Amino acid sequence: MRPMASTTMAVPGTFLVPVLLLLLCGPGPCSAAAHSQPEVDCVIFNEKYMTCTWGSRETLMVNYSLYYWYKNTSNKVECKRYLQDQGIRFGCHFNQDEIIQFQPFHVLLNASIGGKPLEIPIKRMELQDRVKPEAPVNLTIHNISNNQLQLTWATTYPKAACLEHAVKYKSNKDTTWTEVSVNGDIFSLPSVDYEKLYTFYVRSKINKYCGSTQLWSDWSLPVVWGSNSTSKGTVHWFWIHTVLIPIASCLFLLVLVILLVRMERVWVILMPRIPNPSKNFDELFITHNGNFQEWAGVPKDVMESFKANYSENICYVSELPPKDGYEPHWESSNQPTSVVPGAPATPSEHSPYKSSYGRV
């Protein structure tokens, strides 16, 4: 029965230990210890400025203060330009005049959590080993022989003699990159295939004579040399499909419109159309019932002036016999019939002369 009793007494003790720890520690250093402590990392960018960072907005819960010095703690200085993200400090920016290489650089982080101070252990760094140069620029390829290329570049780092470089390249037929270390700023590729397309990149870092660092610069912008039938075909088809075809279509439509306009003018000149006059006389026959004077707008008084307002008298004229030696023969009487002016003459039935009538 004793072993059973001792076992029952040990169980409550195991639950009391974490409760006592929480009561003793409270929300102070013990709770802060549950979070991982940040670590400072400093990088000098191209001898121009330096940044020291110790985390990000997602990993930091409190604001830390950074203090630094070179020789002894009596010259301890707080960061003048903190880098912040939504009010949380995550780094410090140093100008060029605040950087001293080839001297030990010390940093200290501290914070206040729950009213209690918290210090991160002091870190010592050699700044000459924390230099990161900028990527090389002005990559140029020279064709020095039938099958040899020479790649040159430039750098913006003020101490070019302290740099070593790495060149990586591959052709469009290769599946992996080839990387070569270069001490100077010239790289030669002794054998190339003119049917391939080559791509080159270059990066730099401080060499062993000026520092001991593994901080490489970013890769430069690529430079390309050679031919690529697939790419050329794609580019040619792209230009044909997106540029030449639309332009040719527009020109064809423009020429077609011009031809149609010119053909219309030619047909009008060669074979003029006969106008249809029926539409011009619709008003004459429909509205005025064929009355031309009314359709033409001739006044009635003008039309009345054209009507005749006089009568003509008929005058009968007969031929007289000759005066000398000739006498007409009358059947009804031997006396000649006198002619009365204004009255019709009565010719004999068998008169040898014909009478004629006329108007005076």
Helix (H) or strand (E) segment spanning residue 315: strand 314-317
131, 163, 197 - which closes a domain: 131
For residues 299 and 269, membership in a common domain is answered with: no
Whether 22 is covered by a domain: the verdict is: no
Do the domain assignments include residue 315? no
Give the pLDDT mean for 38-51.
92
Of residues 74 and 149, more confidently modeled: 149
Domain residues for 55? 33-131
Q: Are residues 158 and 87 in the same domain?
A: no
Contact 45, 91 (CB under 8 A): no
pLDDT tens digits for range 81-114: 999 988 889 999 999 999 998 889 999 998 877 7
Give yes or no: residues 114 and 145 share one domain.
Answer: no
User: What is the C-alpha to C-alpha distance for residues 264 and 163, in angstroms, rounded to an integer?
Assistant: 78
Question: CA 197 → CA 48, 170, 172, 230, 317, distances in Å?
Answer: 37, 8, 5, 10, 129
Give tens-digit pLDDT for 295-321.
666 676 766 676 666 666 777 777 776
179 pLDDT above the threshold of 70: yes
Closest CA to 47 of 183, 202, 156: 156
pLDDT tens digits for 219-231? 999 999 987 644 4
Q: Are residues 205 and 289 in the same domain?
A: no
Within a domain: residue 165?
yes
Task: Return the structure tokens found at 104.
Answer: 């030990």
Whether residue 319 is contained in a domain is answered as no
Strand, helix or coil at 350?
Answer: coil
Domain-terminating residue out of 250, 273, 296:
273
**Helix (H) / strand (E) containing 266:** helix 245-270
Residue 197, domain CATH: 2.60.40.10
State the residue for tokens 């140069």. 133
Q: Is the pTM of this model over 0.85?
A: no
Identity at 88, one-letter amino acid code? I
121-157: per-residue pLDDT in tens? 888 999 999 999 999 999 999 988 777 899 999 999 9
Res 135: pLDDT: 95
- DSSP-assigned states of every residue in 213-245: ---PPPPPPPEEEE--HHHHHHHHHHHIIIIIH
The domain tally of the chain equals 4
